Structures are given as structure tokens and as C-alpha cells.
Amino acid sequence: MKKIILSALSVIVIGSIIFISCKPKNDNDAITPTYKDEASSGTGADPNITNVTTTGTIATTSTQQNSTIPNINAVGSPYLNSPCQTGQTCFSSYNTSTSTTITVCFSAPPTAGPYTLVNSSGLLGPGKALITVTNPPSQDANSVWTSGGGTVNVSTASGVEVSFSNIACYRSIGSFYTVTISGKVLCN
């Protein structure tokens, strides 16, 4: 008899514990998703996962976009070039209107002929050149862009003239945006 009473009492105690712990909670103050037209405050984002909505703003501080700089050093263009110096390996042209600088560098003083463009000064060597564009228009201020490939042609008939056409320059390797340049950099 004691076993039956003890067993019944154990079942009642365990049942009471389960019943008390499973008591429904008061969720009146809980945050629940509502549709925008049902929300009394807040953003009322759409809880329908197949109809994705966004809230907040997206930071758009960058001014980067694809841009082009044509006719570098064409007659009448606002570019300044420095005089040639013996042993010179880098040649720059500065645009007085936009404060843009175009620089072409070689590993040694260039001779006449074509040079393959590289994207880093560490890759310079015989037959290689690197173009950098500093502070191009329509880009972040003082940003530096480097050639991604292509060729330049060097002429030494009167000083040094490095000509190029449609060279895509990138801010970083794999960058989505390009600054495409055409024209020439020279010294005389």
C-alpha cells in the first residue's frame, strides 16, 4: 500500500512541476512582425519573406564611377610637362584645371618602341611600363589609379614622348570602376 501511495504522490508532484513550467506566458509586450499598414509605430517592415523590403539608408560617400580622360597633352590642353633630364625613368603631366597627374614609369631610361603595361612598380623590367593616374576627375579626391594592361609606345625623336590609347586604370586589382586614359606624356 505504501508503494502505491508513494507512486501516486510522485506522479502528482512530477505532474505539478510539468504543469507549472508549461504554463502559458504573457506575450502582450512581445515584438511581433506586422505589415506596414498595421504597425502603430516603427518601420512596420513586411514579414513576408518572399517580398523583401529594406529599411535604413545605404552610405554613398564614394564618388567613384567609370570615367575617361581623353586627349592628354593634345594641343591647347591644360597639361604641364617637365623638361627632360638625363637618366629619367618617370615622366609626368599635370593638368592645371583638374589637378590630375598622369605618370609613366620605366625600370630604366626608355628607348624608342613599345612597352607592355604592368599594374605594380615591382613588376617593372625590360620592355615594361607602369602608368599611374593621381586625382582623376569624377573619382575620390587624391585617389591613385594604376594601369591594368595594354601597351605604350615611346618616341625619342624630340625628347621623350610616351603615347597610349584607351588604357584602363584601376584603383585596386579587381576594382569594378575604371579610369580610361588616352593621349601622351612627354618631356622636351
- Res 52 pLDDT > 60: no
Termini Cα distance of the chain? 118
Looking at residue 36, its pLDDT comes to 61
pLDDT in tens, 59-113: 555 666 889 999 999 988 899 998 999 999 999 999 999 999 999 999 999 999 9
Q: Do 179 and 69 meet the contact criterion of CB atoms below 8 Å apart? A: yes
Q: Give the lowest-confidence range in 13-17, 115-119, 148-152, 182-186.
A: 13-17
Q: Do 104 and 180 meet the contact criterion of CB atoms below 8 Å apart? A: no
7-46: burial string, b at 16+ Cβ within 10 Å, e else: eeeeeeeeeeeeeeeeeeeeeeeeeeeeeeeeeeeeebee
* Ramachandran assignment for 103, one of left (phi > 0), alpha (psi -120 to 50 degrees), beta (any other): beta
Q: What is the DSSP string of 14-79?
A: HHHHHHHHTPPP--TT------GGG-SSS------TTS----S----------EEEEEET-TT--E
Who contacts 113 (Cβ-Cβ below 8 Å, separation ≥6)?
Answer: 153, 154
Who contacts 80 (Cβ-Cβ below 8 Å, separation ≥6)?
Answer: 93, 94, 96
pLDDT in tens, 116-154: 999 999 999 999 999 999 999 988 889 999 999 999 999
pLDDT interval class at 44 (50, 70, 90) = low
